[in-house]
Amino acid sequence: MSVTGLVFDVQRFSLHDGPGIRTTVFLKGCPLSCRWCHNPEGMGTAPEILITPDRCIECGACVDACPHGLPSGVGSGWAAAKELCEACGLCADACPTGARRLVGHQVSVEGLVDQVMRDRVFYAESGGGVTFSGGEPLRQAEFVLSCLEALKGLEIHTAVDTCGLVERDDLLRAAAIADLFLYDIKHADPATHAEWSGAPNGRILENLAALAAVHDEIWVRVPVVPGVNDDAFNLRQTAALAASLPGVRRVSLLPYHELGAEKRERVGVSGAPFNGMSPGPDRMRDFAAIFEEAGLLTTIGG
Amino acid sequence: MTDRTERLRRHSLEAEPSISAERALLITAFYEQNLGRLSNPVLRARAFLDLCERKTLYHGDGELIVGERGPEPKAVPTFPELTCHSVEDLRILDSRPKTRYSVSGAAIADYERTVIPFWTGRSLRDRLFDALPAEWHDAYEAGVFTEFMEQRAPGHTVLDDKIYSKGMRDFQADIDAALAGLDFAEDPEAHDKSESLHAMRVSCDALIRFAERHADLAEERARQESDPDEKAVLEKISAACRHIPANAPRDFHEALQYYWFCHLGVITELNGWDAFNPGHLDQHLLPFYERGLADGSLTRDSAKELLEAFFVKFNNHTAPPKVGVTAAESGTYTDFANINIAGVLSDGADGSNEVSHILLEIVDEMHLLQPSTNVQVSKETPNDVLEHALRVIRKGFGFPSLFNAEAAVAEQLRQGKTIEDARAGGCSGCVEVGAFGKEAYILTGYFNLVKVLELALHDGFDPRTGRQLGPKTGAPERFETFDDLFTAFERQLRHFVDVKIRGNQIIARTYAREMPAPFLSVLIDDCIANGRDYNAGGARYNNRFIQAVGIGTITDSLAAIRKVVFEDGLLTLPDLVSAMQANYERHEALRQRLLHRTPKYGNDDDAADDLMRRVFDAAFECIDGRPTAIGGAHRLEMLPTTSHVYFGSVTGATADGRRAGLPVSEGISPVQGADRKGPTAVFRSAAKMDHIKTGGTLLNMKFTPSLIEGDEGIERLRHLVRGYFAMDGHHVQFNVVDADTLREAQADAGYSDYFCDLSDALQEEIIERTAHAAF
């Protein structure tokens, strides 16, 4: 039987995950737990229910559908019930408005390739392609590697967006196939990295060095999160690190945006809420200057 | 913009649309004297000559291109021989809040005393309505289809390059040759042909006379002008009007003035659909432009100023308003002249040139309501031309629209045209394709696909009018499978297409007989060679379109029915129909499920898109190739203009969750707000339709400004357009506005007059149209 992947979204017309018009495949499950995460529905490794309270018309269909008789709905009752939920998806099937949605579906390699090939004409026009993101795509390495192989055979440009906390072997196998790596560096300091993202950065940086030794198209991505990593010292260190690696072609600074906070609530991610502010365009330009001084091609957003 | 352009532009923008009764009075007096004394072609030609000799001329200060259809800018003449406004129509026009036309008390008195008494029962509209069968009237009143020719003459054509090498005297020589070639002994139609050709000859004289009067007026003004520069301008105008249109133009200025007289001639003779249109203006003007630059008589700037003056003339020509029930609601000043930019040459090479860029600059800078503009994009079109167009589009005025030149050629080849004629053709009006200068490609009416499904769900009975409109094709409880329902839909569709076509034949024959257009016939091949009028099938190619509306709504409705009734078995079809009849009152959960949990066209979802294709194929099979009464064939087109609002207002709640009375989807765009997978998915869904089998399709896309910022944004749009056109998409129009901006515009009438001219329902609909943002 062919390998399958747990995918939580396939986003067409993605413009910020590599060159051209792209389709981004979001794979579920991430080894980090960044408190500002803007794709919190990608953190967990199992399917789960995502709630959009504004859409709920309180029809009760979800309560009727639940095999465990959980008090569903979208209010406080659900918050307690979530612990018992097995994400069977029957409530989401029953929900007429889409207020309850099951995130995470098993997809075959062939199914995924068929899906992403729908926009091939736009890839061809724009020099675009397909990006695997998440979550952490290389946590489902066999699936992602099979997809990369299949797409390479179809002459589609591929990119892998990784947090770096992955098996070295998986990373290097992907490096032999994928055209581009988008590689996140959240913080240069191991302790601060661990504090905000749930793990130190040692393996992440070692993996980056190993990747940069064999792959020459790496874009380092830095999510700029005010109060976390936007101090000049850290940004200079990050820039120096990126500039020291031969395969790093550019740095993308991604301004933190508040969308994730609301999504974390909807997906019911536990832990302290993170309520940062988006850095304004002026500050982003200042940050970009730090990286440019280090001789790096730097873009803001994507 | 030069100071002169700025003055002309402001004057045009500030002029208030009004109704002029002058033409109505002249034509009425002429008919009173001559009706029954002349053959119809000669009657029409002599009436045209009479108008050209007697109408009030206008020559505004500082004008470079002269001539108005009415006595002054935006003073709109009427055409009572086609359709006669009632006193109530005129009062509504004068008082309605949107797209108002002021009507003087004197004009109303003239109508009451002279115009209405003569034309009541005689106007073509009255006579057509008498001749059309009851079943046609029933379907028309129920909103199954509309009829174009009850308000305006066929028209719907575009000029090619012929006037740039031939004057009216040359056309008269061609007419004389055709007359000399008539064989009165052997050809039973020779006498009819002779009358038609004589009428064409008279109409050439009429245009020459019209120009001479302008020459005299300019000469007189020059005599009185003290400013030497203005005097020179007036003398140039006078000299131009004496040379053209009798003779071929000698320079850039004369080429534009000559076209403009032809334009006025066509729209004075009759009120044809889409006014008239110079076609590939950049291609036609290039030789004059290059020659002028070479001999020093022209600079880039002076050429641009002349073109600006030319554009102002279009803006001065507000469309004549409709009559009858539509007077209270109908909403556009636009007359649909749509100038073509770029495209291909007759050998298939890139047709863009420096004049293309000048035209795009003018569109960008002048922001006029008219003329519309479009850019025809082929694989040969350089990126810089397309990107220039996209930068103009990005400003958010909705123009130019973009057409796929290769698709336009392929569509015409399928209809049997030569490749050279196809390439010299293009798109005009809204989106329709034709062979410029050689074809009558006539829109006959919008066709409400969604209403037909409603009838199929009610055994042919119309819940709104309470009439059995269609054949009895089975009540919903009789449909055991989805295919049973679809078969009933196909039978209803066939029936109403038959009713529509029967009406089209009556209307086509009536125009052919009663309302020839001899002047237009001079301009369109092969009316002279055939000795046959344009309205009688004299053109080289004749196509009549039926424009199907609501493909998005009907697709989503069928997809919803198939899913909830025939696949999931959530409820029976009769139960669904009764929820629809209740307009989903007390069925909100069901409505939400239909809205959110069923396949929707516009998301590249084959579960919906395959049904779109099935409906499209059914409509195509019913319509395409069926003969018209004046030769040529009927064709399918997918165009709504604003009819989707009207069609929605007469159609009950639909199975896609739409409530009764709200607009149906427009063109081939998805249902408003139903496309959730971004623009590439919309393009993919839309491209699953076989555009090449149509006479045109219309796709509207709304983008937020952030998506298309900077050079990257322009590149992105270019990739989307090229991608869609690589899949044989026919047309796309980008509307670049965010919903907030539109809401502000709606609240503040001063924000954008153009937007606020639209009815509230249409405004809401535009706001709902999904805005695509970057992900």
The answer to whether B723 contacts A125, with C-beta atoms less than 8 Å apart, is yes
Nearest chain A residue to B688 by CA: give it: A118
Of A40-44, B41-45, B628-632, the range with the lowest mean pLDDT is A40-44
Do residue A121 and residue B681 have CB atoms under 8 angstroms apart? no
Residues of A in contact with B722 (CB under 8 A): 125
Tens digits of residue pLDDT in B351-373: 999 999 999 999 999 999 999 99
Amino acid, res. B458: H
Whole-number Å distance between alpha carbons of B725 and B505: 35
Tokens of B473: 């094709």
Q: Where does residue B188 rank: exposed (0-12), middle (13-18), buried (19+ CB within 10 A)?
A: exposed
Closest residue to B720, CB basis, from A16, A55, A122: A122
**CB < 8 Å to A13, chain B:** 677-681, 772, 774-775
How much is the average pLDDT of B416-445?
Answer: 94
Cα–Cα–Cα angle for A121, A253, A169, rounded to 5 degrees: 70
Nearest CA in chain A to B604: A118
Task: Please enumerate in sequence order all residues whose Cβ is within 8 A of that of B451, keeping only pairs 6 or more positions apart, or say none.
Answer: B142, B143, B144, B550, B647, B650, B651
Question: Of B430, B527, B622, B756, which is the active-site residue?
Answer: B430
- Which residues of chain B lie closer than 8 angstroms to A118, CB-CB? 604, 680-681, 684
Could you tell me the pLDDT band of residue B98, with boundaries at 50, 70 and 90?
confident
Q: What is the mean pLDDT of residues B460-487?
A: 97
Residue A132 β-bridge partners: A25, A160
Q: What is the pLDDT of residues A245-265, one digit of tens each?
A: 999 999 999 998 766 666 666
- Predicted confidence at residue A235, as pLDDT, reads 96
CB B772 to CB A13 under 8 A?
Answer: yes
Question: To the nearest whole percent, how much of chain B has pLDDT over 90?
Answer: 87
**Cβ contact, residue pair A125, B726, below 8 Å:** yes
The pLDDT-based confidence of B502 (bands split at 50, 70, 90) is very high
Per-position DSSP letters for B649-695, written without gaps between them: HTS---TTSPPTTS----TTPPSTTT--S-HHHHHHHHHTS-GGGSS
Q: B774 in contact with A at a CB cutoff of 8 Å? A: yes
Give the gap in angstroms from C-alpha B596 to the nearest C-alpha of chain A: 6
Q: Is the pLDDT of residue B73 over 50?
A: yes
Q: Per residue in B537-587, pLDDT tens? A: 999 999 999 999 999 999 999 999 999 999 999 999 999 999 999 999 999
Q: Measured between alpha carbons, how far is B264 from B275 in angstroms, rounded to an integer?
A: 9
Work out the number of other CB atoms within 10 angstroms of the CB of residue A110: 12
Q: Is the pLDDT of residue B752 over 50?
A: no
A126 touches chain B (CB under 8 A): yes
Whether B590 and chain A come into contact, CB under 8 Å, resolves to yes
Out of B597, B677, B726, name the one closest to residue A12 (CB).
B677
Confidence check: pLDDT of B756 > 50: no
* Other residues' Cβ atoms within 10 Å of the Cβ of residue A172: 15
A257 contact B CB<8A = no
Name every chain B residue with its beta carbon within 8 A of the beta carbon of A16. 774-775
User: B726: which chain A residues are within 8 Å (Cβ-Cβ)?
Assistant: 121, 124-125
Residue contacts between A and B (CB atoms, under 8 Å): 76
Which chain A residues are Cβ-neighbours of B588 within 8 angstroms? Answer: 57, 59
Q: Mark whether B432 is an active-site residue.
A: yes
Q: What pLDDT score was predicted for residue B416?
A: 97
From the list B63, B432, B490, B637, the catalytic residue is B432
Q: Tokens for B418, please give them.
A: 């030569």
Position B734 pLDDT exceeds 70 = yes
Q: Rounded to 10 degrees, what is the CA torsion of A26, A27, A28, A29? A: -120
Q: How far apart are CA A103 and CA A7, in angstroms?
A: 8
Identify the residue among B377, B567, B592 best suited for mutation to test binding to A, counting A beta carbons within 10 A and taking the highest. B592
Question: Could you report the per-residue pLDDT of B261-280, keeping only the tens digit for each?
Answer: 999 999 999 999 999 999 99
Q: Is the pLDDT of residue A80 over 80?
A: no
Torsion-angle region of A158 (φ positive above 0: left; ψ -120 to 50: alpha; else: beta): beta
Let me know: does B49 contact B27? Beta carbons within 8 Å.
no
Higher pLDDT, B711 or A268: B711
Over 60: is that where the pLDDT of B762 sits?
no
The tens digit of pLDDT for each residue in B206-246 reads: 999 999 999 999 999 999 999 999 999 999 999 999 999 99
- Name the closest residue on chain B to residue A95, using Cα atoms: B593
Which residues of chain B does A130 touch, with a Cβ-Cβ cutoff of 8 Å? none
Q: Is the pLDDT of residue B78 over 70?
A: yes
Q: Which among A103, A157, A98, A105 is positioned nearest to A132, based on CA atoms?
A: A157
- Segment B113-149, tens digit of pLDDT: 999 999 999 999 999 999 999 999 999 999 999 999 9
SS3 (DSSP) at B100: coil
- Closest chain A residue to the Cα of B708, Cα to Cα: A15
**Per-residue confidence (pLDDT) for residue B277, from 0 to 100:** 96
CA distance B592 to chain A (A): 5
Q: Do B680 and A59 touch (CB under 8 A)?
A: no
What is the helix (H) or strand (E) element at residue A286, kind and residue range?
A: helix A281-293
The whole-number average pLDDT for the span B177-182 is 98
Touching A: B residues 287-346, CB under 8 Å = none
pLDDT at B297: 97
> Is residue B741 very low, low, confident or very high in pLDDT (cuts 50, 70, 90)?
low
Q: Does B125 touch chain A (CB under 8 A)?
A: no
- Does the pLDDT at position A102 exceed 80? yes
pLDDT-derived band at B687 (thresholds 50, 70, 90) equals very high
Residue B29 has pLDDT above 50, yes or no: yes
In chain A, % helix, strand, coil (3-state, to 5) comes to: 40, 20, 40
End-to-end CA distance of chain B: 39
pLDDT at B334: 87
Per 3-state DSSP, what percentage of chain B is helix, strand, and coil (rounded to 5)?
55, 10, 35
Which has the closest alpha carbon to B613: B679, B720, B694? Answer: B694
Is A96–B597 a contact, with Cβ atoms under 8 angstroms apart? yes
In this predicted structure, the answer to whether residue A104 has a pLDDT above a threshold of 60 is: yes
Closest partner residue to B596 (CB to CB) among A11, A96, A125 is A96
Q: What is the mean pLDDT of chain B?
A: 93
CB-CB under 8 Å, A121 with B719: no
Q: What number of other Cβ atoms are within 10 A of residue A280's Cβ? A: 11
Cis peptide before B400 (omega within 30 of 0): yes
A162 contacts chain B (CB < 8 A):
no
Predicted TM-score (pTM) of the model is 0.94
Tell me the average pLDDT across B19-29: 98
Q: How far apart are CA B67 and CA B214, in angstroms?
A: 7
SS (H, E, C) B563-627: HHHHHCCCCCHHHHHHHHHCCCCCCHHHHHHHHHCCCCCCCCCHHHHHHHHHHHHHHHHHHCCCE
pLDDT of amino acid B770: 52
Model pLDDT, residue B758: 47
In this predicted structure, the answer to whether residue B748 has a pLDDT above a threshold of 60 is: no
Nearest to A183 by CA among A106, A109, A120, A242: A242
Least confident of B165-179, B441-455, B751-765: B751-765
Question: Alpha helix (H) ranges present in B515-538?
Answer: 518-523, 527-530
ipTM: 0.94
Phi, psi at A253, each rounded to 5°: -95, 120
| Max CA separation in chain B (angstroms) | 86
> What is each CA distance from B244 to B28, B70, B208, B215, B252, in whole angstroms?
30, 21, 8, 10, 12
